[in-house]
Chain A
Amino acid sequence: MENHYDVIILGAGAAGLTAGIYTSRAKLKTLILNEGTVGGQMVLTHEIANYPGVENISGYALARIMKKQAQDFGCQIKSNLRISALHLDGVVKRVEVNESTVYTSAIVIIATGGKSRTLGVAGEEKYKGNGISYCATCDGDFFSGREIIVVGGGNSALEEAVSLTKYASKVTIVHQFDHFQAYPIAVEEARNNPKIDFIMESTIDEFIGEESLRRVKIRHIPSATVHEKPIDGVFIFIGYVPNTESLAGIIELNRWKEIIVDESRSTNLPGVFAAGDSIAKKYRQVTTAVADGTIAALSAVSYIHDAAKTRAA
């Protein structure tokens, strides 16, 4: 029974850690299994200024506090592992880790969050860190006086493009549509910046170089014409995708691969709840993830109590 828990939480972002705090505090034996970094998307944020009750804090610091809170209530956290199999349809849920260890539980809360979307084209993995970046504040200064491309058309892409003009000699925004998804103020700021050019209705097909990136193949989508552009760097900001690949065929997902939940954060499987960026919802913020984690945890507590009452009756 060493590996049996009342609650297993998949993911240690804001939603998962919050759920862990609540279920552990409710005296449920809780294990968080996390494939990536504790804090999830939260640690990607340099400064969080709109988390109520905290004036300014880094995402990393907030994640550390949440982790400590959960552990102080008795929650166990295992990180940087790989979930190799999930069996969620029975009364006892089974989670296999690293194709070796099996953990079981009465409840599973899925809080696997999301990850940055990649282009998935030739050369992207090879030139990551050698010309391709996903973080302007991290890597912007390596491109001082150089010419770069920003891929994307949302708020992040346009805001980071403007921010990168502090370093780069020229920034070209490559976007797949003929219009931007960003707020008009972000679009206006980018359009008014003399260092920024635009290549619309286009996508990058391939990254080419030697030790580091030298040029890209850009395809104009309507005409299907391809041209090569010499470039020193490419920053990619094309949104996030939910971490739900391993859940396909196991629980109900919508067409965007987001988990479908009801207001109690229950999925279509009894005893399986979901919270945070991996569920179908409109707004993805630390605060909404925390709210989801709270609701999922309280629903889980209620589910266990109801199950115990049923058994006793």
Chain B
Amino acid sequence: MLHTNLTHVLSADDHQKLLGENENVMICCGRMGPMCIPVYEVMEELENEYKHVKFADMEFDHPDARLIRSLPQTAGFMGLPFTVYYKNGQPVKATSSIQRMDQITAILDEQFGR
């Protein structure tokens, strides 16, 4: 389990449940590494501001993280973390590697509204 204050996706069932119960979801799939930690921290900061979005993390090395690693949107990604944005259960955007607050909020605003 990742050491963040985000909701943790620990299995394929968790993943399915999260997408089934929430219209707007952002999942950051990574490790406790230097490129991933800043993204988790931005997500923690945004949780209060974007109440209509569910923020979660998932361990990149967990076998069920194949659900994210094998998405067409993450094909060719070669930098952790893989961050995927879902709308009504469907992936609508994905990014690779570290992202700044302004890059993340731009995607959230574009995909889910403010």
Contacts and interface: CB of A to CB of B under 8 A. Distances in A.
Contacts of B41: 37-38, 79-80
Contacts of B65: none
Contact of B77 (A82, A129, A138): A129
Given A36-B38, A58-B32, A60-B32, A130 B76 contact: yes
B76 A212 contact: yes
A120 to B, nearest CB: 17
A257 interface: no
Q: How large is the interface on B (under 10, 10 to 19, 20 to 34, 35 or more residues)?
A: 20 to 34
Contacts, number: 74
Interface string A27-71: 000000000111100011110000000000011110000000000
A45 to B, nearest CB: 8
Given A38-B41, A60-B3, A130-B96, A44 B80 contact: no
20 contacts: A37-B37, A39-B37, A45-B34, A46-B33, A59-B34, A60-B3, A60-B32, A61-B3, A81-B101, A129-B78, A129-B79, A130-B76, A133-B79, A135-B33, A135-B35, A138-B34, A139-B35, A142-B77, A142-B79, A212-B78
B24 interface: no
Interface in B55-114: 76-80, 95-98, 101-102
B45 interface: yes
A80 B78 contact: no
Given A130-B78, A130-B96, A138-B80, A80 B33 contact: no
